[in-house]
Amino acid sequence: MSFAPYIIVGLILLIIPPFVHADIQLMLAKFLAFAVFAIGYNLVFGYLGLLSLGHGVYFGAGGYTVALLQYHLDIDSFWIAMPLAIVIAALLAAALGPIVLRSTGMYFLLLTFALGELFYSIAWHWPFMNVIGVGGEMGMRGITGIMYPDLNIPGLTLTSTSFYYFIFVGFVICYILLYRITNSPFGHALVGIRESEPRMQALGYNTWRYKYIAFIISAGFSGVGGAMFAWNNTIIDPSHFAVGTSFLPMVMSIIGGSKILFGPVIGALIVIFAEYFASITVRARWPLILGGIFVASVMFARAGIGVYLARLWEKVRVRYGNTKG
């Protein structure tokens, strides 16, 4: 594949933000946070072939880590918050991996789902994870007033525009890392395990170790996405651990195409944009709209919209005879 589409999309994402309303900047940053979450998730879902409904745990862990650091310890340095968000998400995966990775298929789905609900419940009940004064009676839980991180660069305080660019850079780094991971011998082995674990074992691969490492890496990226999301959203609540959050990267991967790296990015774009436009028009209908998009994409673009976009790009390239792209 050529780099031209990357450059075009990258330029659009770079040029537009200063000219749009802060609400749209917020939406674009949310899209990038979810894009990171989704490509991280998809390492386990699309590449390894395990359907997790529990990655909200790692997304929430990332988000809560940066929020709790600010709230309890007054630490808002990016250089502390982000590594810690990654480490905590990865450590959780390292601890939970041996429990969930024993199973596959439906049992894997149910186990990951159950763990997500467990974390939801912990986050709901544990005072440490809730802002004092926003009581249960009002139905409000979690942490509000999360601020942008401090980059510790003298004279630089993030605004909504500069924060967006900051998130953009983070997304690009994550994308490049996952690009490298999926093209490495390790990434190729994951695809082999998706196709047939027993055959991979017979070839000499310690499939358990691959699954475990992939699960941890995937959780690490989910933690990054969660931290980005928390900074952007200013609020994190128990639902971010639960299935309502966990199923978003799955939907994004399926809509965009789970067998290709950029698929979940396309999916995130569609879902977050649609959510934004639903929120300013028919907010209550959002679940219905999301369901509709999902069903339509599964029916009409089985392999994922990203795959069709790639084919379309191929056609454009051939048509205009620019073989270098």
16-52 core/surface letters (b: 16 or more CB in 10 A; e: else)? ebeeeeeeebbbbbbbbbbbbbbbbbbbbbbbbbbbb
Sites for other proteins among residues 210-239 (CB under 8 A): 213, 217
User: Can residue 195 be called a binding residue for other proteins (CB under 8 A)?
Assistant: yes
Candidate segments 111-119, 175-183, 231-239, 245-253, binder of other proteins by CB under 8 A: 175-183
Residue 2 contacts other proteins per CB under 8 A? no
Based on CB atoms, which residue is closest to other proteins, 196 or 279? 196
Determine which residue in the list 191, 243, 289, 301 makes contact with other proteins, applying CB under 8 A. Answer: 191
Which CB contacts under 8 angstroms, 24+ apart, belong to 162-170? 163/29, 163/231, 163/232, 164/17, 164/25, 164/28, 164/29, 165/14, 165/17, 167/29, 167/32, 167/33, 167/228, 167/231, 167/232, 168/13, 168/14, 168/32, 170/32, 170/36, 170/224, 170/228
Residue from 6, 124, 148, 186 touching other proteins (CB under 8 A): that is: 186
Which of 154, 198, 321, 324 binds other proteins (CB under 8 A)? It is: 198
CB atoms within 10 A of CB 121: 13
Which residue lies nearer to other proteins by CB, 187 or 256?
187
Of the candidate residues 2, 121, 196, 279, the single one contacting other proteins (CB under 8 A): 196
User: Which residues, listed in sequence order, are joined to residue 143 by a DSSP beta bridge?
Assistant: 236
What CA–CA distance (Å, rounded) separates 103 from 9? 39
Q: Which of 38, 61, 189, 227 binds other proteins (CB under 8 A)?
A: 189
Chain positions 248 to 287 lying near other proteins, rule: CB under 8 A, are none
User: Counting contacts by CB under 8 A, is residue 184 touching other proteins?
Assistant: yes
The backbone torsions φ and ψ at residue 226, rounded to the nearest 5 degrees and listed phi first, read -65, -40
CB of 202 to other proteins, least distance (A): 5
Phi, psi of 143 (to 5 degrees): -125, 130
Residue 185 touching other proteins (CB under 8 A) = yes
Task: Point out which residues bind other proteins (CB under 8 A).
Answer: 177, 180-181, 183-189, 191-192, 195-196, 198-207, 209, 213, 217
